[in-house]
Amino acid sequence: MAQPDDQDLSITPDVLLKAYACGIFPMAESADDPAIYWIEPRERGVIPLDGFHVPRRLARTIRKGGFEVRIDSDFESVIAACADPAPGRGKTWINPEIRRLYGALYALGHVHTVEVWREDRLVGGLYGVRLGAAFFGESMFQRETDASKIALVHLVARLKAGGFTLLDAQFITDHLRQFGAIEVPRSDYQLRLEAAIGRTADFHQLPIPSSAELVLQSVSQTS
């Protein structure tokens, strides 16, 4: 379901959090379109935290190192990079109003970033919304091979260590399927969402920085 909001300026961070609690999230048609559309997919993409799969080659890349993973250090650069055109994506759904709203949620502690840096250059990352024990992945980007995948692995390790129960991917892509992402009906998703937002979780439970072995161990643990 997608409905345009003709009064974008009436959307506040509190309204946005209430929408997430109902299973709805906003998008824009493009960076130049001032309107915001509320989306509620019939089939919702989720990444089961206990069914997360790390490809062997990626695990070797993570163990090899050569990069630094930071948390919540540069939200503006992350969302700007997510809004940039990329191979296979000529336009973005992140307009100025989206950036304003998520910037406000970041200031309130409800948006987090996972950032991959190499030699003090941001090469990949992601951002998303935290509500209870649910994390809603919004967008990711990479400027080097595997950088977004490294960010995702570190995110899942952090969510599992912190007691999260739901990782919402919104829509499924081939990129996410390799990690175990699945689609669930709206009714199933609503049950998972209700259970997750009624719990508490700690995004900062995992140490910063975390060693490659700790991250991979955290990802492989089952609850």
Give the number of domains in the chain.
1
Above 80 in pLDDT, residue 157? Answer: yes
Nearest by Cα to 196 from 171, 170, 159, 221: 159
Judged by average pLDDT, the poorest of 25-29, 58-62, 84-88, 124-128 is 84-88
**pLDDT computed for residue 6 by the predictor:** 42
In a domain, 69, yes or no: yes
Rounded-to-integer distance, Cα 135 and Cα 52, Å: 15
SS3 (DSSP) at 44: strand
In a domain, 85, yes or no: yes
In a domain, 113, yes or no: yes
The position carrying tokens 């967008």 is 139
In a domain, 10, yes or no: no
In a domain, 15, yes or no: no
The position carrying tokens 């309204």 is 15
**pLDDT computed for residue 214 by the predictor:** 96
Q: Express each pLDDT in 158-195 by its tens digit.
A: 999 999 999 999 999 888 999 999 999 999 999 999 99
Above 90 in pLDDT, residue 26? Answer: yes
Q: What percent of the chain has pLDDT over 70?
A: 93
Above 50 in pLDDT, residue 1? Answer: no
Residue 13 carries which side chain, given as an amino acid letter?
P
Rounded-to-integer distance, Cα 144 and Cα 186, Å: 35
In a domain, 14, yes or no: no
Looking up residue 146, the CATH number of its domain turns out to be: 3.40.630.70
Question: Rounded to 5 degrees, what angle do the CA atoms 88, 83, 205 make?
Answer: 110
SS3 (DSSP) at 161: helix
Above 70 in pLDDT, residue 9? Answer: no
In a domain, 80, yes or no: yes
Q: Which residue has better confidence, 43 or 34?
A: 43
Please report which helix (H) or strand (E) contains residue 190, including its range: helix 186-197
Rounded-to-integer distance, Cα 129 and Cα 197, Å: 12
2 in Cβ contact with 93 (< 8 Å):
no
Tell me what the pLDDT averaged over the chain comes to.
Answer: 92
5 band by pLDDT with thresholds 50, 70 and 90 = very low
Q: Residue 33 has which token pair?
A: 């379109």
**Domain range for 209:** 43-220
What is the layout of strands, in order, in the sheet containing 25-27? 2-5, 36-39, 25-27
Q: Express each pLDDT in 63-90 by its tens digit.
A: 999 999 999 999 999 999 999 876 665 5
Q: Please give the DSSP secondary-structure letter assigned to residue 50.
A: G
Predicted TM-score (pTM) of the model is 0.92
30 band by pLDDT with thresholds 50, 70 and 90 = confident
In a domain, 187, yes or no: yes
